[in-house]
Chains A and B, each alone.
Chain A
Amino acid sequence: MSNPFPKVIVFTSPYCSWCKRVKSYLQQKRIRFTEVDVTKNSSAARDIVRRTGQQGIPVTLVNNRPVIGFDKSKLDRLLGIR
């Protein structure tokens, strides 16, 4: 892994089961992340749509690179998880 402390932001909502899956995966791999609840932060929701075209969550930014949904292989690649 090039950066041992990647900046990870997970965009979530309280009712989203796949968001819980992403968060528990990151916790289990001991990756620190910041969570943004889009239902409390409309500008964050607009930001996701602008960056990814995606109108849904979870979206994870790993050093600004978006991962849409729970895409384990992409998360692993960007986070250097083997």
Chain B
Amino acid sequence: MMNEQKTHEKYDVIIIGGGPAGLTAGIYSSRAGFKTCIIESGVIGGEAASTDLIENYPGFPDGTSGLKLTENMEKQAKKFGTEIIYDKVIKIEKTNQLQKGKYKILVTNSGKIQTKAVIVAVGTKPKLLNIPGEKKYKGRGVSYCATCDGFFYKDKKIAVIGCGNSGIQEGLFLLRFVKKIEFVEFLPKPTAEKVLLDKIKEYENVNFHLNSALQSINGDGKSATGITINDNTTLKVEEIEISGVFIYVGLNPNTEFLEGLVQRDKNGYIIIDKNQNTNVSGIFAAGDATIDTVKQIATAIGSGARAAINAGHYTENTN
């Protein structure tokens, strides 16, 4: 039974976000005997659940799928008693309840819920380019998720925008289906790790447009049919025919709802100390949504564990 409708339930620890950081916090917190729940607005597993092959997570010499890995984390968290509620946290109430020893009130789409400690593990979402055609052809040629949409481009030519780790890694996945990939990168060089670049170089059906900006995504009104790119040095404009565009140009943290309460840096990442404390006592943060500069599963789970242990200490000292 889903418990979406429960209101005013009281928890020791509520974790906002069920990605790797939140699931790890759930495992530690519920195993330590705290009444714990994870509130998740999308899919359990977060960004990691959409990644086909994870090769750098320890313990899996042949790599593992992000979906399987996070399904196992979910099982482990539930086994120790973590509850999962599918809902979206829209606010943490800014009242004198935030004082130490008082329950904090989280406002969700379907009600209010109380907790002694909060762990914010809300991760990030893909950055949009805000160029002509991007919105219009979303789902009709424009995608941010290779594992969701890749198959629809079987034997077609596509573009991947962004040659960081995500762009190259997802490009490698897409090469299972597509005929050819035109990679577009704004910087003069791809920024992905060498191990990924070495792999992509083995393919003949890839082409790189470096030092180039994507100007627009063009289409016939129904779906995307091409892109226009602009060389940053020569200013030459080029039109390329493609059937799909996968965009990996960076991430933005899902932290808008903390505005005016929890301190964030200028890009919206949550400011934490070495114990994952935010500026508000009893509110902790972990994973990709924090100022931690490495955004990986291994670092997200480390910070989730640290946040849960410290939230536990806080909860024990709260009546």
Give residues in A with beta carbon < 8 Å to B.
13, 15-21, 28, 38-39, 42, 45, 49, 53-58, 68, 70
Q: How far is the CA of A17 from the CA of B45 in the complex (A)?
A: 8
B210 to chain A, nearest CB (A): 27
Contact B43 A17 (CB under 8 A): yes
A21 to B45, CA, bound (A): 11
Inter-chain CA distance A32–B139, complex, in Å, is 27
0/1 string, B147-160, CB within 8 A of A gives 1:
11101111000000
Are B49 and A17 closer than 8 Å at their CB atoms?
Answer: yes
Nearest chain-A residue to B66 (Cβ)? A17
Residues A55 and B141 in contact, CB atoms below 8 Å apart: yes
Contacts A20-B43, A21-B43, A55-B140 given; indicate if A49 touches B152 (C-beta within 8 A).
yes
Chain A's closest residue to B40 (CB) is A21
Give the one of B1, B50, B151 with max A CB within 10 A.
B151
Chain B hits for A49, CB < 8 A: 152
Whether B244 sits at the interface, judged by CB under 8 Å, is yes
Does B2 count as interface, using CB distance less than 8 angstroms? yes
Bound together, the chains give a CA A42 to CA B156 distance in angstroms of 14
Asked if A15 contacts B52 (CB within 8 A), the reply is yes
Question: Which B residues are CB-close (under 8 A) to A18?
Answer: 42-43, 148
A15:B143 contact, CB within 8 angstroms = no
Instruction: Assess whether A56 is in contact with B50, with CB atoms less than 8 Å apart.
Output: no
Task: From the candidates B65, B145, B151, name the one contacting A38 in the complex (CB within 8 A).
Answer: B151
A24–B15 alpha-carbon span in the complex (Å): 21
Chain B interface secondary structure, helix, strand, loop or mixed?
loop
Which residues on B sit within 8 Å (CB–CB) of A55?
A: 139-141, 143, 149, 152-153, 223, 244
Residues of A within 8 A of B140 (CB): 53-55
A–B Cβ pairs within 8 angstroms, 6 of them: A17-B43, A45-B154, A54-B140, A55-B141, A56-B148, A57-B149
Given known A-B contacts A28-B2, A53-B222, A56-B139, A15 and B149 have beta carbons under 8 A apart: no
How distant is B143 from chain A, measured CB to nearest CB, in Å? 6
- A39 near B151: Cβ-Cβ < 8 Å: yes
Given contact pairs A13-B151, A17-B45, A39-B151, a sample of 19 additional A-B residue pairs in the complex whose CB atoms are under 8 Å apart: A16-B147, A17-B43, A20-B67, A21-B42, A21-B44, A28-B1, A38-B152, A42-B154, A45-B151, A45-B152, A45-B154, A53-B140, A55-B149, A55-B152, A55-B244, A56-B139, A57-B149, A58-B148, A70-B42
Residues of B in contact, count (CB < 8 Å): 27
Q: What 0/1 readout, one digit per residue, does chain B (1-17) give for beta carbons within 8 Å of chain A?
A: 11000000000000000
A17 to B49, CA, bound (A): 6
Q: How far is the CB of B298 from chain A (nearest CB, A)?
A: 20
| A13 with B139: CB separation less than 8 A | no
Q: How far is the CA of A45 from the CA of B177 in the complex (A)?
A: 13
Q: Residues of B contacting A45 with CB < 8 Å? A: 151-152, 154
A14 to chain B, nearest CB (A): 8
Residues of B within 8 A of A42 (CB): 154
Q: List residues of chain B with CB within 8 A of the CB of A16.
A: 50, 147-148
Contact between chains at B67 and A56 (CB < 8 Å): no
Q: Which residue of B lies closest to A15 (CB)?
A: B147
Beta-carbon contact of A56 and B223 below 8 Å: no
Name A19's closest neighbour in chain B (CB-CB).
Answer: B148
Write the B128-146 contact mask toward A (1 if CB under 8 angstroms, else 0).
0000000000011101010
Can you list, as one digit per residue, whether each of B229-268 has a CB less than 8 Å from chain A (1) or not (0)?
Answer: 0000000000000001000000000000000000000000
Smallest distance from the beta carbon of B303 to chain A beta carbons, Å?
22
Task: Assess the B65–A56 pair: CB atoms within 8 A.
Answer: no
In the A-B complex, the 5 residue pairs with the smallest Cβ-Cβ separation, listed nearest first, are A17-B49, A56-B149, A55-B152, A15-B147, A17-B43
Chain A residues, Cβ within 8 Å of B44: 21
